[in-house]
Amino acid sequence: MKDLYGNDVTTQSEKTIDAINRFTTSLIGYGTDFAAIFEASDEDPNCAVAATLGGILGLFIETPDRLEIADKYFNRALEAAAMSTEREQLLVEAMWASRQGDLKKSLGCFRKLAALYPRDLLSAKMGQTHYFNLGDDEGMLWLADQVIDAHQETAYAHGMRAFGLEQMSQLEEAEEAARRATEMQRCEPWAHHAVAHVMVTQGRHEEGIDWMSSLSGEWDGCNSFMYTHNWWHLALFHLEREEFKKALTLYDTHVWGRDKTYSQDQINAISLLWRLEIAGVDVGDRWTDVANYVSDRSFVQDQPFLDMQYAFALARGGKELELNNLLAGMEMMTVDAPQMTRGAWEDVAIPATRAFVAYADGDYAGAEELLAPARENMQSIGGSHAQRDLFEQVWIQSLLRQNKFDEALPLLQARVDFRKAPELDLHLFEKVKAAASA
Ligand SMILES: [Fe+2]
């Protein structure tokens, strides 16, 4: 049978195809209609695609038994692979290699899938997620470029390409692709998001507020990552325009509260609270609630980008025991993590995390010393340029709080020049310039 994008699927069950289609649309469109894949796979165990998607869903759900669930489906997929097509076998191989920590092999399979089977948009999206977590923007765009000709009529494909272009700093092309996606299909939250990235990078904050506000009604049906992350972007525009009250209100009403147990919701909340504090805003006791949820996490050590920010929340929330456990677990990742990411844990995530803890303790010299070597390879921990900008702000603050104005000024000057000076950057630059010459 064929799935919604015309890919052959080894099954005779309408129910399996329906579940695969719902899963595919939810994954690419950031929806919530995933769960039917479990039952469909249980009733149709010889379908390798359904079983693989069950495994992927197992990895997404953040419960203590997530790996057990994932492996049940991945093992089923491995058994079914022998009776499957080459595309299906490649998908099984890609995800099984990823589960085993062989990211090089996994990415090789995803590249092959995109080149040989460009109609397989779901695999391209999964491959992009892997590249994103490795900070490999080139890989992310390459995958989208392979599949775009086969998906000229699919809004999501243009959205996927738009974000790859944006991260590769091809901003005009990125905006064009994202606007095209949104015109084709108004509810394309990833395309809305790509335009927000372009506008924040170019300092077009007022436009960004108009763009995201006008589309925010489309996000209600999104999963909690996309919902809170797009609202986070809108709050970021307000924050950088020094509309602090508005940013804090968005934090309370949209960024924090959708699913407080989920990693990405927590990261959006931590990132916004931290930036608000750097801007001098009193965030009250908001860290307590976030730190409570972070300390209740059943698993950490998933992505360095996440752990680094969990640590700051735990430090700000006074969760010393949980913080020490997190740091000990991060140390283990220098041995246990997939080969491709061990360097990122050891050389970047761990020293940066220790820097953030020092920063939370008011030890700015310590923060500077620890963060200095980590800054060089910050991209390797994953996340977007806009997300990682927080760490650059922490670096600048560490200098400023030691009155190292001469070192901070060129960095602030570069920010002002590069982004047409949103109010927050401009006012900080002027203040530091005055302090330096006083
Ligand atoms: Fe983003």
Q: Which amino acid, residue 146? A: Q
Q: What is the mean pLDDT of residues 330-342?
A: 94
Cα-to-centroid distance, 197 and ligand 1 (Å): 6
The contacts of residue 420 (CB under 8 Å, 6+ apart) are 202, 203, 204
Q: How is residue 126 written in tokens?
A: 């999964």
Q: Is the pLDDT of residue 298 over 80?
A: no
pLDDT digits (tens, 9 = 90+) for 250-264: 999 999 999 999 999
Quick one: which H or E segment has residue 330? Answer: helix 320-336
Q: How confident is the model at residue 341 (pLDDT cuts 50, 70, 90)?
A: very high
**Using CA atoms, how far apart are residues 407 and 413, in angstroms rounded to an integer?**
11
pLDDT digits (tens, 9 = 90+) for 27-37: 999 999 999 99
Ligand 1 center from residue 3 Cα (angstroms) = 29
- Span from the CA of 330 to the centroid of ligand 1 (angstroms): 25
**What was the pLDDT predicted at 20?**
98
Pick from 248, 230, 254, 279: nearest CA to 386: 230
Sign, CA torsion 285/289/295/300: negative
Question: What's the mean pLDDT when you consider all of the chain?
Answer: 96
CB atoms inside a 10 Å sphere around CB 255: 27
C-alpha of residue 174 to centroid of ligand 1, in Å: 14
Give DSSP secondary structure letters for 182-244: HHH-S--HHHHHHHHHHHHHTT-HHHHHHHHHHHGGGGTTS-HHHHHHHHHHHHHHHHHTT-H
Residue 299 has pLDDT above 80, yes or no: no
What does the pLDDT average to over 123-151? 97
The identity of residue 401, as a single letter, is R
* Distance of CA 132 from the midpoint of ligand 1 (Å): 11
Report the separation in Å between the CA atom of 385 and the middle of ligand 1, taken as the mean of its atom positions.
8
CA 109 / ligand 1 centre spacing (Å): 26
What is the 41 CA–ligand 1 centroid distance (Å)? 33
Give pLDDT, residue 334. Answer: 95
- What are 249-254's contacts with CB under 8 Å, separation 24+? 251/276, 251/286, 254/227, 254/228
Question: Rounded to whole angstroms, how far apart are CA atoms 28 and 282?
Answer: 37
Query: Cα of 244 to ligand 1 centre, how many Å?
Result: 20
Question: How many whole angstroms separate alpha carbon 203 and alpha carbon 121?
Answer: 32
The CA 180 to ligand 1 mean position distance, Å, reads 19
* Residue range 150-208, pLDDT digits in tens: 999 999 999 999 999 999 999 999 999 999 999 999 999 999 999 999 999 999 999 99
The predicted pLDDT at position 301 comes to 84
* Confidence bin at 221 (pLDDT 50/70/90): very high
- How far does residue 222's CA lie from ligand 1's centre (Å)? 15
Cα(193) to ligand 1 centroid in Å equals 6
Kindly give the distance from the C-alpha atom of residue 251 to the centroid of ligand 1, in angstroms, as a whole number. 16
pLDDT at 148: 98
Q: What is the mean pLDDT of residues 423-437?
A: 94
Ranges of each domain in the chain: 1-143, 152-222
Measured in whole angstroms, how far is the alpha carbon of residue 57 from the centre of its chain? 17
Give 40-53 pLDDT, tens digit per residue.
999 999 999 999 99
> Comparing C-alpha atoms, which of 353, 275, 346 is closest to residue 310?
353
| CATH, range 152-222 | 1.25.40
